[in-house]
Amino acid sequence: MKSEADKKQRVVIVTGASRGIGKAITEAFVANGDLVTIVAENKEELLAAADSLSKPENALVLHGDLAIDGFVDEIVEATFSKWGKIDVLINNAAWRTIETLKTISIKDWEKTIKICLTSPVFLSKLAAKKMESGNNGGVIVHMSSVMANRAGGTSPAYIAAKGALLSLTYEMAALYGSSGIRVVAVCPGNVTTAMSSDFKDPKGSNISQVLVDEMEDMTPLQRSASPEEIAEGVFWLSSDKASFINGTSLDIDGGFTHNFNSYKSKKLQFPNEF
């Protein structure tokens, strides 16, 4: 099949691309001259995101629900039909409820697992098959989370899916590495996005800033990340500069994961040193 894409241009699929981290990832690739299939459920948000790109002509817009069987097939086939290859897949889309295991319904559990785990599994399977057919290798990035290893007890299905994505990264790297396909995961810490601003107390009051302030005080850099900072890490991992990085994960968390306590606590002991 003759491709519309120049050999120097990569063809990339980004799910959850209408806002936040996914939108920033898309812009990083588009600004580099790459061709990107952008995927999200909300059509209006996705079209607006496409229009805001520095090179909107480099984007193929596909809106749909990853919880619906068959949509992942449409994504891969539409991308391959348009550009004749697939070089990079970014499994970024997520959905979750904020509640404990004591109250979560089977319906919400299964929807979360379908979007956050099952769709990345089979989207990866289909994309990898296309990558293998081109004999040029490829890169698959799973967006996990620091919460995979530092759970809070308030989002069980989401945490289960993010942890499984790490194990899936190791499994897929072992399977596809011999075909030149690298599989890596990224674990962001707190990021300034819509998903970090929807926390409420039992009365319905938004308490997001209180929780953000607490997490930032647990982060050595003392702040949250911007979506663009996460996108830069994803872009680098997807490039030839990271060509021997495979079957592992990258924490982009400002030092949060390996910090023991809050800076409020540290200052109690050493007020002049922190």
DSSP string for 168-206: HHHHHHHHHGGGTEEEEEEEE-SBSSGGGS--B-TTS-B
pTM value? 0.93
- Supply the pLDDT for residue 97: 93
Residue 167: in which H helix or E strand, if any? Answer: helix 156-176
- Who's near 207: CB < 8 A, 6+ residues apart? 199, 200, 201
Q: Tell me the DSSP string of 215-272.
A: HHTTSTT-SPBPHHHHHHHHHHHTSGGGTT--S-EEEESTT-TT--S-HHHHHHH-TT
Tens place of pLDDT for every residue, the chain, 274 residues? 444 444 589 999 999 999 999 999 999 999 999 999 999 999 999 999 999 999 999 999 999 999 999 999 999 999 999 999 999 999 999 999 999 999 999 999 999 999 999 999 999 999 999 999 998 999 999 999 999 999 889 999 999 999 999 999 999 999 999 999 999 999 999 999 877 777 788 888 888 888 899 999 999 999 999 999 999 999 999 999 999 999 999 999 999 999 999 999 999 999 999 9
Residues 17/89, Cβ–Cβ less than 8 Å = no
Q: Which residue has the tokens 């990224």?
A: 186
Three-state secondary structure call for residue 26: helix
The length of the chain in residues reads 274
CA atoms of 105 and 96, how far apart (whole Å): 12
CA distances from 144 to 87, 92, 185, 258 (A): 20, 8, 6, 17
Tokens of 216: 């930032």
CA distances from 99 to 151, 187, 216, 271 (A): 13, 21, 22, 37
What integer pLDDT is reported at residue 205 of this predicted model? 86
Contact 6, 30 (CB under 8 A): no
What angle, rounded to 10 degrees, do the helices at 119-134 and 71-83 form? 30
Give the list of residues 6+ apart from residue 227 with CB closer than 8 angstroms, or none: 20, 21, 23, 24, 191, 192, 193
**93 phi/psi in degrees, rounded to 5:** -60, 145
Q: Whose CA is closest to 85, among 93, 77, 74, 96?
A: 77
What does DSSP assign to residue 81?
A: H
pLDDT at 218: 96
CATH of 11-269, one of 3.40.50.720, 3.40.50.300, 3.10.450.30, 3.40.30.10: 3.40.50.720
pLDDT at 3: 46
